[in-house]
Chain A
């Protein structure tokens, strides 16, 4: 999770100028903040936004308009370092303190707090604000434990294949549509001294989890994942082992990051700079990268290159060609000991559930406010980057058609997630085999499942 946070953080910091430039749109938004029936008193909120631009934007265009439209509720916002946020929250909540609105790094983390009875139930507010009608159903289900809603999903994510459009143009390449094309391109690029995929986990080793996510979804397939996540089959099955072996073979070939050692040591700035400069041709990363792409492509980055994205291709026959892993980067909950829970719920609704407002924010500060709402073409302001808009619409459409997979960090419980992150490195260094890795995951997952920690798994359309 930390990797994703860092990446988003880098993006958010760098998009400060864009956020400031969007103040006009924000002023308009200030005028259209709908009133709600929040309570009165102070509502404390810890945000993971970084950089003066996004923080100023938040103050002018979210905090002030919310207070204007919710007379009697004062929002007290504290910006916490994203990497430290969860640790600070755990300490504060355990001591009966902490903010009234609690942001966690995802549904698996939220469940730990819910199990400890630290979050208020939100079912009444869901009815009051109509969240079932406004938010994507699968996302909302991730915040339900034992049939009760306690966490609202936030920061919608998926994994994508980014490519250096300029480099592809020069080399006469097109985005790969299947494994054969992908591997042929990787061979050719390697032969010409270009790293096929910019990659590295030097800044955050936990980011290695992106790759099991991608290979299990696009090789094993969403049906196999659904069956394993629901306990019908095992993660030790060959279909999962083969996916990990395939990933390892790509790393051994030097296709990810240039070499195994560089894969371990490359930081985000290094790999993104290589991607922008054309030293690497593609990048397998989450949708959050769109926020920082502007810093590595074009004049600001000292090159004339451009980027685009495409869905990750199927790596095996029978896997859907356009498939998006579903991911939730954070959740919002109301602290059980909040003095003004009505005000807190009103702010959650204000922040997440109004499509018109949210799309303005998403255009102004990309990726920071990706609410899980059903988006369509035409929902977004003209100022939004068309590539970002296309991604949000594609993800929304694929979800409704059942063409989705599962990110580790949203659908696996915390212990299984940590296992996936930690032990994957041992596979890459050949300390354990792919089969041992998958068997180990199966054991950890079984324990998690026995303890009831697996969130609700929605069925893909192809299953």
Chain B
């Protein structure tokens, strides 16, 4: 009896403790939940609602059902902007990630000046995008920039090239400027991951006769896979949401040649006063991002080591 009573008492005490721990957890979480509801959930629900309305951004909104979504499906400007987002994603999945891997690998090979280079690589990332953009607009100015400086010393191939004024060059040129600010951050992420790879694995690979490239492919890449996947996912989402550099440098021009969905949405909402339509575009973009994240989750559950 006593043993049973003691067990029941212990069980009750344990239940009380669990409830108390749960309560404490909720007390700590409630402020965050409130902030989340106000800052994220509320606006998200409002965006979903406005995407079904004809709304100028001012005054009352008129419910129009799926009309905005139907319009998006036949909007050539949206498709073009989306295509530019895809190109942007392709550029950022290759150039900065390759440069980041190479930079991190090279930095991991040195000990002297490593901190100096880490700082140098990281500085553009923390400089305001408007400053970076202004800097490169001057450097790439067709009359007063690097092209004209090179021409004055007998290297004329960039002289007079209007990087941001050419339909062909505008998008890659803006991507170049954004990449300049971004890739240093990627280097640091990869460098941190590289430093956690067990050095004995490299020694074992060397004993097996692996060269530098084989070590990179068979030891380094598997060792930093979680970081690599994180960077890829971050790159895709950032590329879909890109706005600042495009807006600052070309505002989507010339003639829509560098328009991305972010800048198109901004124009719809704040220049054409089509805030409802812009909300539908935004949700369309979120839908695409969501699909990509779901794809990653699905592959992981199927056993892919990503």
Contacts and interface: CB of A to CB of B under 8 A. Distances in A.
Interface of A: 86-87, 90, 93-94, 112-113, 115-118, 201-202, 204-205, 259-267, 270, 414-415, 418, 422, 425-426, 428-429, 431
Contact of A270 (B58, B141, B252): B141
A24 B166 CA distance: 50
Contact of B167 (A94, A204, A415, A429): A429
Given A112-B56, A118-B59, A265-B164, A414 B272 contact: yes
Contact of A90 (B144, B251, B254, B270): B270
Contact of A262 (B162, B255, B267): B162
A89 to B, nearest CB: 10
A413 to B, nearest CB: 10
Shortest Cβ-Cβ A-B pairs, 3 listed: A265-B165, A116-B59, A264-B165
Given A117-B59, A426-B256, A87 B270 contact: yes
The DSSP consensus for interface residues of chain B is: loop
Given A118-B58, A261-B162, A270-B141, A425 B270 contact: no
Interface range for B:
20 to 34
A270 B270 contact: no
Q: Tell which of B141, B143, B254, B256 has the most Cβ of chain A within 10 Å.
A: B254
A425 B267 CA distance: 15
A429 B254 CA distance: 8
A77 B51 CA distance: 36
A115 B59 contact: yes
B56 A116 contact: yes
Nearest to A116: B59
Interface string B55-71: 01111100000000000
B136 interface: no
B255 A265 contact: no
Contacts, number: 85
Contacts of A422: 256, 267
A263 B165 contact: yes
Given A205-B253, A414-B273, A425-B253, A265 B59 contact: no
B137 interface: yes
Contacts of B251: 204-205
A267 B58 CA distance: 33
B203 interface: no
The DSSP consensus for interface residues of chain A is: helix
A270 B136 CA distance: 15
B251 to A, nearest CB: 5
A267 B248 CA distance: 12
B137 A267 contact: yes
Contacts of A201: 253
Interface string B146-182: 0000000000000000111111000000000000000
Contacts of B56: 112, 115-116
21 contacts: A90-B270, A94-B58, A112-B58, A113-B58, A115-B59, A116-B59, A118-B58, A118-B59, A261-B254, A262-B165, A263-B165, A264-B164, A265-B141, A265-B162, A265-B165, A267-B137, A414-B273, A418-B272, A422-B267, A425-B256, A426-B256
B259 to A, nearest CB: 9
Given A90-B58, A425-B256, A265 B270 contact: no
Contacts of B244: none
A279 B140 CA distance: 20
Contacts of B137: 202, 267
A433 B163 CA distance: 24
A406 to B, nearest CB: 20
Q: Tell which of B137, B141, B162 has the most Cβ of chain A within 10 Å.
A: B162
B263 to A, nearest CB: 11
Interface in B245-264: 250-257
B162 A431 contact: no
Contacts of A266: 165
B271 interface: yes
B141 A415 contact: no
A431 B255 contact: yes
A86 B271 CA distance: 10
